[in-house]
Amino acid sequence: MEVLVRLLALLVVLLVGTGLRASGVLDAGRTDTLNAVAYYVALPALIFISTYDQAIGELLSFALVGGLLVVLFTTAGLAWLVHRRRDTAGRRSVAIVQSYHSNLGYLGLPLVAATFADPVTAIASVILGVVTLVQVPLTILVLSTSNGAGAELAEELRGLATNPVLVSLLAGLAVGSLGVAFPGPVVGGLDVLGSLALPLALLCVGASLEVDLPSVDYGATGSVVALKIVAMPVLAWAVFSALPVDTETFVAAVVMLGTPTAVSTYVFAAELEGDPEFASLNVFTTTLVSIATLFVLITLIT
């Protein structure tokens, strides 16, 4: 019951964000500001505070990285098989990337931090970093090659080097591995900032969601939902059950990979000549339905 109440609270905050956008309170400028605070302050604080007292050898393993890559690329392959005959290149490419590109930063890690103990959160932070390094370039590659967009993959990869998520992860792992001690007030302050990551992220996600019901392609959207928040976590469950990983790693991997489609895929679709309306609908639908699927996942795991 506690998990259900927590997830319903997430839904409420998400819908509050949508309502604030509709009423004009969260206009584009305010949403961008809120997004910047979440992305550059709260989320990095959460990642750092989750990893600063852990040595990298305790969190990162070949089994973890290998399992993540198997799940990610297998889901991407299934997405290509399912969506390869979509009517337009824009819709086809968006359907493929939204079937595997997970919302690990704004929903996955904060949700894990709010639901599970610190060791699970630390591993979830590593999962966020590893998967981000793979799924972002893969998404850019799929969209740009499918739609003939002139994206410079090398430029995007250089941008990853200054990504606050990855920078804070590397900083936390470095501090943990070196055994550097941090003053209590600093840790407490970062902990408070990190606790803001989930509500701020949900408000931003809600404020960015737009749905044009007359243009809904139920078959395409239903396939994205089925692959992203049903097939992908089921595959993660099977893969990590077969790997020599501890319970914390298994829990973190399944929950993180069971998150809905990332909001950033809408931005990529708009920039790389995909189908942004279709992308927005899929973000909204997978986020909404994931409240139920994540409840099932967390209930089965705990």
Cα 289 from chain centre: 15
- Kindly list the averaged pLDDT for each block of 10 residues, start to end, along the chain of length 302: 71 84 84 81 81 74 95 97 88 94 87 88 90 85 76 60 75 79 80 80 73 69 96 97 95 96 80 78 87 91 85
Take residue 158 and report the two structure tokens written for it.
């250089």
Per-residue pLDDT tens digits for 19-62? 888 888 888 888 888 878 887 888 788 778 877 777 777 778 99
**In degrees, to the nearest 5, what angle opens at C-alpha 276 toward C-alphas 273 and 282?**
135
Residue 93 has what pLDDT?
A: 92
pLDDT digits (tens, 9 = 90+) for 142-180: 888 887 655 555 566 666 667 777 788 788 878 877 777
Architecture of the CATH domain 2-208+217-301:
Up-down Bundle (1.20)
11 CB burial (10 A radius; 0-12, 13-18, 19+): middle
Long-range contacts of 197-200 (CB under 8 A, 24+ apart): 197/38, 197/42, 197/43, 197/45, 197/46, 197/106, 197/109, 197/110, 197/113, 198/10, 198/107, 198/110, 198/111, 198/113, 198/114, 199/13, 200/34, 200/37, 200/38, 200/42
Sequence-distant (6+) residues with CB within 8 A of 23 are none
Lookup result for tokens 């990337």: 97
For residues 77 and 81, what is the distance between their CA atoms, to the nearest angstrom? 6
Nearest to 161 by CA among 202, 126, 133, 193: 133
pLDDT value, residue 285: 87
Count the Cβ atoms, other than its own, within 10 Å of residue 278: 25
Output the CA angle 267-298-104, nearest 5 degrees.
20
Q: Please give the C-alpha separations between residue 175 and each of 33, 110, 194, 273, in angstroms, as whole numbers.
A: 30, 21, 17, 41
- Residue 230: the pLDDT is 96
pTM exceeds 0.85 for this model? no
Question: How many angstroms from the chain centroid is the CA of residue 166?
Answer: 14
Give the pLDDT confidence score for residue 212 in this predicted structure: 59
> Which of these, 51, 62, 60, 64, lies nearest to 173 by C-alpha position?
51
